[in-house]
Chain A
Amino acid sequence: MLLAIKLAYRNLIGAGLRTWLNVLVLSFSFVVIIWIKGIMVGWDHQAKTDMTQYEIAGGQYWQETYDPFDPLTLDISHALIPAEVMPEIEAGDMEPTLLIPGHIFPNGRMQGVTIRGIRSGQSIWKLPTEKLDTVVDAIPAFIGLLMASSNKLETGDLVTIRWRDANGTFDAAEILIVDIFSSNVPGVEAGQVYIPLERLEELTLLEGHATILSYRDPEAPRAELTGWTLKPKEVLTRQVDELIKTKSTAQTILYGILLLLAMLAIFDTQILSIFRRQKEIGTYVALGYTRREVVGLFTVEGTMHAVLAAIAASIYGLPILYWQAKVGWTLPMDASDFGMAMAQTLYPVYTIGLVISTVLLVLITTAVVSYLPSRKIAKMNPTEALRGKLQ
């Protein structure tokens, strides 16, 4: 094997430009595959981090009738906060959120919203709830950037808000936009208005009620609460996993095509080598190689393209990949339109596993592609090969 590697290396280096063209194409595949996979990992990481920081915290309990995909049930999706979680709430490790459907009337238009009652002193999300801790004539509220830009709202704007109380009676008041936040999580921005929990309880006559209970520590064991459904973090982020899986499939097809092109070049080179190097093959056999060993030599030679490509990719690819990890990749379109947790700029994350799996993928694929045409050598007649006669 060592001899085959040594000879293959000599043959490849001796072949000059042909080798380097293949190596260049293959190294490009390496860099692109690692970059694409890195973007996926980075996106996954960023989406889950943002969701944790702005929406789901360490996990949640949902009031049993709450269904985020059925707004019509929102009116009835609340219940008294169970007494057994009160110490956790008082310690600031759990936050109740009350969700009530309502409407706002920005610039003379009517817009359906979810009014989120949230405690101003919370510390489990990065939401600017401290801004709610203010005394103003209207109800202090903050909204997400997505909501602000779609409704042309700015900090300091007064907007009329309408809701129905526990008895089903419509009521309305003014809210004052005290802050606008940006999160990369459309779910917490689009159509959401955040007001102090106690004000919402007051407005809706639902004192001590909540729709969602979000807890800080995802690792701590959670008890079942009657009338509430436990939604651990991994369940709440499953949608992101599935979305990324779908996107990954599409990206796999993309880099599969790229890899296919590189493999075509290797395959073509192997076919051409066997066609042009018949005399050489015969000579190897005459000097003491078995035909099987010559097949091995040609396979190693083809596979070594991938090794050289990995080296080349590490020379010019590492700085590029590092730079990308630093500056990120800014999406050419508005990421908020995607309807999922996605930052405008994605930062690729390269793990050891990602790099090793990519190198193995390319190496194994190249080895197979190199071996397939080389099998022909095993059927060659060495005396004909020595004369360079095509077989």
Chain B
Amino acid sequence: MEIIEIKNLVKRFPMGKGEFTALRGVDLNFGKGEFAGLIGPSGSGKTTLLNIIGSLDVPTEGSVTVLGRAIGKLNQKEAAQLRKESLGFIFQSYNLLQVHTVYENVEFPLLLLKLNVTERKKMIMDALEWVGLTDKVQSKPPQLSGGECQRVAIARAMVKRPSLVLADEPTANLDAANSHNILKMMENLNQELNTTFLFATHDEKVINYLHRKIFLLDGKVDNEEIIRNH
């Protein structure tokens, strides 16, 4: 079952008096439970593609369908609904809410889903257990290491059990040991919960973990490797 269908995707940005084309006719499909990555140098269009899949941006041409919803046709509210219910995001710089505790950060997506306290508490503790941070519940991001922050971000992305997690350079700010821990953790979650993970990266450490590698160059799919079928 395909959860992402991308057809002839073109994305152009205005630049000065002209335009810059970030994606030039991308065709891709992703199925449930994939652990795939968009690989390419800076400017290859991987983050742009990830943003469009995440309904944070819209295609200029072509179509992107995520979980049966056409991204280009969603209004702001529908796009927010899709992100709230079905998507998880992991960012390079963690993007944690600095004044909130670890617990509150992980709780945020559940608050948006209007779950009751008991449900929330159970789901948060489960998520923190996955990432091994149950002892840091009351800590705030400035009190955590980079690796711990990224683990909180993973817990936040996973807590609502989304169908799809989009991770943009998740290990770029981490050392090798932390990167491996994080990637191993995500791989485990992918296998245990059958959540689709889609990375945007040029980090070798991440690339080595991917089950499917899509190489982008100048806004086009240059090459694709399937290491392991999901």
Contacts and interface: CB of A to CB of B under 8 A. Distances in A.
A246 to B, nearest CB: 48
B81 interface: yes
Interface stretch (B28-36, B89-97, B218-226): B89-97
Interface string A270-290: 000000000110110111111
B157 to A, nearest CB: 9
A10 B54 contact: no
B76 A290 contact: yes
Given A14-B100, A382-B56, A383-B51, A288 B81 contact: yes
Interface in B99-118: 99-100, 104, 108-109, 111-112, 114
Contacts of A10: 99-100, 104
B76 A287 contact: no
A286 B54 CA distance: 8
A290 B97 CA distance: 17
B119 to A, nearest CB: 15
Given A285-B80, A288-B81, A383-B56, A15 B99 contact: yes
Interface residues of B, number: 29
Interface string B143-171: 00000000000001000000000000000
Interface in A335-391: 382-383, 386, 388
A10 B107 CA distance: 13
A386 B95 contact: yes
A279 B141 CA distance: 14
Contact of B111 (A3, A15, A382): A3
Interface secondary structure of A, over-half rule:
helix
B99 A383 contact: no
B95 A283 contact: yes
A283 B97 CA distance: 8
A88 B132 CA distance: 93
Nearest to A290: B80
Nearest to B88: A287
Contact of B97 (A280, A285, A292, A382): A280
Contact of A287 (B47, B57, B84): B84
B191 interface: no
Contacts of B138: none
B98 interface: yes
A361 B110 CA distance: 35
B77 interface: yes
A291 interface: yes
B76 A292 contact: yes
A291 B83 contact: no
Nearest to B140: A14
Contacts of A290: 76-77, 80
A383 B112 CA distance: 20
A154 to B, nearest CB: 71
B99 A285 contact: no
11 contacts: A3-B111, A14-B98, A15-B99, A280-B95, A286-B56, A286-B83, A287-B84, A287-B156, A289-B80, A386-B56, A386-B91
Closest 10 CB pairs of A and B: A14-B99, A288-B84, A283-B95, A290-B80, A286-B89, A288-B112, A288-B83, A383-B51, A290-B76, A382-B56
Given A11-B100, A287-B156, 5 more contacts: A279-B93, A285-B83, A286-B54, A287-B89, A290-B80
